[in-house]
A and B are shown apart, each in its own frame.
Chain A
Amino acid sequence: MSLEAFTHSEPLTLGVELELQLVNTHDYDLAPYAEDMLRLMHKVPLPGSVVPEMTNSMIEISTGICHSASEVLGQLSPIRDALVKSADKLNIAVVGGGTHPFQQWHERRIYDKPRFQELSQLYGYLSKQFTIFGQHVHIGCPDADAALLMLHRMSRYIPHFIALSASSPYVQGQDTAFDSARLNSVFAFPLSGRAPFALTWDDFTAYFNKMARTGVVKSMKDFYWDIRPKPEFGTIEIRVFDTPLTIERAAALAGFVQSLGAWFLAEQPFMPQEDDYLVYTYNRFQACRFGMDAVYVDPATGSHMPLRDHIRMTMDQIAGHAAQQGASNALHMLCNEAEAGQNDARWLRERQREEQLLAEVSRRAALRFRG
């Protein structure tokens, strides 16, 4: 199987996917209602799409092609409202967050779709442990080479994305001490982590062909990288975000990605190096573990600084581009929360400290998602 051609897309256009939890309203455990939700949502005319995910307590919504964060929010809002209405009809609730705080992985059931069944056969229990919920952001790139350049530039900001979106502190009923424990589950998959350092589409195609020849991969879908090219859309897809608790935060994160992309394209601020990846895993770990309190090691200089300082510094750098993309409000919101050390993981922990009941934390998160 060969790599498909990189389709043309309008630069800096956005597409957002959100994986969401379906929970019952009795004890707020995950509930296998994906098929029912899809049936009800199918009747409602909406932008974007609603599709099943790996296990049948999950659902994925996505926007169509958007030009700004506010358009993302404009598309996510009616989808969210329709989801909430369908969930009310079925007596369930829809919740954001990167993990369900207390679900037991062995109780999950794989959604009845050939690809998911195949993955379940291959990965065994890992596929059920993959009941985790992420946000994916696609950003349009001018051409294939520009896409790879943007991918490796964007890699420097993976810790920023992780800390700002982290919403998975609890796994299997326990506080993991991580702000984003979700990414640890992704790491179990053999083709996860960073993409290979290829800055031209020819080099990348050569890599893909070698991998395909080994029989390990058949398509780009088999790579679980943090950022991967999506040739059929003409985008790169950033996959490290936990699903936030609100669609407003999801749209703001898309705005942040778009502003960074605009900065890269307009100013070509730096050239990515293979050596950038020397600190990649360390920075990624810091952001997952400590969230806003993480330490960031600058790959270019090797200097250490609080991640939240680097987030503020970055946002100052790209403020002009954010204004051009209509993302100033989004960046302002994220920046304020970063300064306060606030993210969704902290919100969840605060609720648990008050309530001492993870099911109640899920209920409160479900109320928050309703907007």
Chain B
Amino acid sequence: MNEILSFWAQWLRPSAGLPTVQWSLLLAVAAMAGYLCQRHTGLPKVVGYSLVGTAAGLAGFSGAVWPLQGIGLFLLELGISIVLFECGGRIPLRWFRHNPMVLVQSIAESALTYFAVYWVLVWLDMPAHVAGPLALVALAASPAVLTRVVADTRAAGPVTERAIVLATLSTLYALTLGSARAEQINRQSITLLDTMYPVVVVLGVSIIVAAVLSLVLRMALRFMSPTSENTSMLLLALIAAATAVAAHMGGSAPLAALLGGMLLKQLNPRPWAWPRQLGNASSLLTMLMFVLVSTVAAQADWSGPVAGVVLALIAVRLVAKAVGVGLGNVGSGASWRQALWVGCAMTPMSSIALLIASQFVVASPSTGHLIARVALPAILLMEVLGAVIATVAIYRAGESSKPWAPLSRGGNGDRSES
């Protein structure tokens, strides 16, 4: 692969640089794979994107470096931020007042996931300073994968909505604690103040950026229609600016976007019409995000002993999330059957987990290497497998607006591409 690329680099000297050509072609292949995957298997397009990224990563594609940095890191953060901003806007705080059990359910599943994964990894002789960060990585469900699955299956309903909300909240905890833990990873003596300080900084900066973002948008929405194309562009541009600023100031860009979405929903309870307007630009960014994640994750060092730990982590995480959702389900207004499918829909792991893992690697290359060795294969597996499980959960919950059938046999393939 590298010989081909080096020959190509000498033969072709494009104006925007070779990486641009490589990435453009990779995305073109991913777009085709996503389409064919959905058309012939009924699985969501994100599975196709991830498989193409995996193949490129395994083949030694050099366009994505690990740990993430520069424009690659920014694009990943931007993609996550856009998804999280929209997901944050799906969380009206008044819901927790009327149904506090949803918050209990979220805390139960996140806490159980963290402690279960931590204990199992320690039991498998993993050092505590590696097991802790890995448990934080495992905490984050992927609203990005889930929202793509929902879009592809055109799903709506209680399981879909609650899975998105719980996945978003788990992301909130994982980003806050993960960013703070990354700050502490090199410190020897940990006092309570030492523990709290990074959390306060990450949260504080993210909240400030989120507040500015939401206030500016609130102001704009006083005279701009949320259905206008220009409002969507304004939104994308402001999220991009906030993404760049938040990370630079010591906060977390995705966290700022998520909190920004939640704050804006509080300040502006009017309906959110713009997700339909965001259109192809955000879809392209999201696709880039999935390809990037799988390309990077596929570059992990694969070995037999690591595979065992990875599978244990995945299995424990799956069970812990399902049990946590079940435990918190009492009095939350959902049936047990729905709780089961919500738990399954929360299995995907993707970009946010990768971002948190990347933070650990940057903060401490030695410990980070041990974390990445387990985290990257787990993320890769759960990006693909998680998307499939989430799809099955949504179909089984009866919340898809079309039946599960490969579109070529269903005879309505073109209509699904709206």
A145-162: CB near B (< 8 Å → 1, else 0) gives 000000000000000000
In the complex, are the beta carbons of A36 and B334 less than 8 A apart? yes
Is B195 part of the contact surface with A, judged by Cβ < 8 Å?
no
**Chain B interface, number of residues (Cβ within 8 angstroms):** 28
Partner of B270 from the list A33, A40, A85, A360 (CB cut-off 8 Å) is: A360
Among A78-129, those with CB < 8 Å from B are 85-86, 88-91, 107, 109, 112
B34-59: CB near A (< 8 Å → 1, else 0) gives 00000000000000000000000000
Among B79-111, those with CB < 8 Å from A are 89-90, 92, 94-95, 98-99
Give the chain B neighbours of A356 by CB distance below 8 A.
Answer: 225
Instruction: Tell me the smallest distance from the CB of B158 to a CB of chain A, in Å.
Output: 5
Q: Which residue of A lies closest to B332 (CB)?
A: A89
Give the chain B neighbours of A90 by CB distance below 8 A.
Answer: 99, 158, 333
Give the chain A neighbours of B92 by CB distance below 8 A.
Answer: 25, 91
* Complexed CA–CA distance, A89 and B97 (Å): 9
* Complexed CA–CA distance, A363 and B270 (Å): 7
Give the chain B neighbours of A31 by CB distance below 8 A.
Answer: 156-157, 161
Q: Which residue of B lies closest to A107 (CB)?
A: B401
* Complexed CA–CA distance, A186 and B270 (Å): 32
Is A20 part of the contact surface with B, judged by Cβ < 8 Å?
no
In the complex, are the beta carbons of A359 and B333 less than 8 A apart? no
Is B396 part of the contact surface with A, judged by Cβ < 8 Å?
no
Give the chain A neighbours of B227 by CB distance below 8 A.
Answer: 357
In the complex, are the beta carbons of A36 and B270 less than 8 A apart? no
* Complexed CA–CA distance, A40 and B334 (Å): 9
Among A204-232, those with CB < 8 Å from B are none
Q: Which residue of A lies closest to B338 (CB)?
A: A36
Given contacts A36-B158, A40-B333, A357-B225, A89 and B271 within 8 Å (CB-CB)? no
In the complex, are the beta carbons of A24 and B156 less than 8 A apart? yes
Among B258-311, those with CB < 8 Å from A are 269-273, 275-276
Give the chain B neighbours of A27 by CB distance below 8 A.
Answer: 271-273, 275-276
In the complex, are the beta carbons of B401 and A109 less than 8 A apart? yes
Is A32 part of the contact surface with B, judged by Cβ < 8 Å?
yes
In the complex, are the beta carbons of A26 and B270 less than 8 A apart? no
Is B69 part of the contact surface with A, judged by Cβ < 8 Å?
no
Q: Which residue of B lies closest to A87 (CB)?
A: B98
In the complex, are the beta carbons of A91 and B161 less than 8 A apart? yes
Instruction: Tell me the smallest distance from the CB of B141 to a CB of chain A, in Å.
Output: 18
In the complex, are the beta carbons of B95 and A91 less than 8 A apart? yes
Partner of A24 from the list B161, B399, B401 (CB cut-off 8 Å) is: B161
B233-275: CB near A (< 8 Å → 1, else 0) gives 0000000000000000000000000000000000001111101
Given contacts A39-B335, A89-B333, A360 and B271 within 8 Å (CB-CB)? yes
Give the chain A neighbours of B129 by CB distance below 8 A.
Answer: none
Give the chain A neighbours of B333 by CB distance below 8 A.
Answer: 36, 40, 86, 89-90
Give the chain B neighbours of A26 by CB distance below 8 A.
Answer: 89-90, 161, 271-272
Instruction: Tell me the smallest distance from the CB of B333 to a CB of chain A, in Å.
Output: 5
Partner of B156 from the list A32, A39, A86 (CB cut-off 8 Å) is: A32
In the complex, are the beta carbons of A357 and B98 less than 8 A apart? no
* Complexed CA–CA distance, A28 and B270 (Å): 9
Q: Which residue of A lies closest to B333 (CB)?
A: A89
Instruction: Tell me the smallest distance from the CB of A321 to a CB of chain B, in Å.
Output: 44
In the complex, are the beta carbons of A88 and B98 less than 8 A apart? yes
Q: Which residue of B lies closest to A109 (CB)?
A: B401
In the complex, are the beta carbons of A357 and B157 less than 8 A apart? no
In the complex, are the beta carbons of B154 and A357 less than 8 A apart? no
Is B178 part of the contact surface with A, judged by Cβ < 8 Å?
no
Is B67 part of the contact surface with A, judged by Cβ < 8 Å?
no
Among B181-212, those with CB < 8 Å from A are none
Give the chain B neighbours of A75 by CB distance below 8 A.
Answer: none
Instruction: Tell me the smallest distance from the CB of B339 to a CB of chain A, in Å.
Output: 12
In the assembled complex, 8 residue pairs joining A and B whose CB atoms fall closer than 8 Å, in A order, are A29-B156, A31-B156, A31-B161, A32-B157, A88-B94, A89-B333, A91-B161, A359-B270
Residues of B whose CB lies within 8 Å of any CB of A are 89-90, 92, 94-95, 98-99, 154, 156-158, 161, 225-227, 269-273, 275-276, 333-335, 398-399, 401
Given A36-B334, A91-B95, A91-B161, 7 other A-B residues pairs in contact with their CB atoms under 8 A: A24-B161, A25-B95, A85-B98, A88-B99, A89-B333, A107-B154, A109-B398
Residues of A whose CB lies within 8 Å of any CB of B are 24-29, 31-33, 36, 39-40, 85-86, 88-91, 107, 109, 112, 356-357, 359-360, 362-363
A-B pairs with the 9 shortest C-beta distances? A359-B271, A88-B98, A91-B95, A28-B271, A89-B333, A89-B99, A32-B157, A27-B271, A360-B270
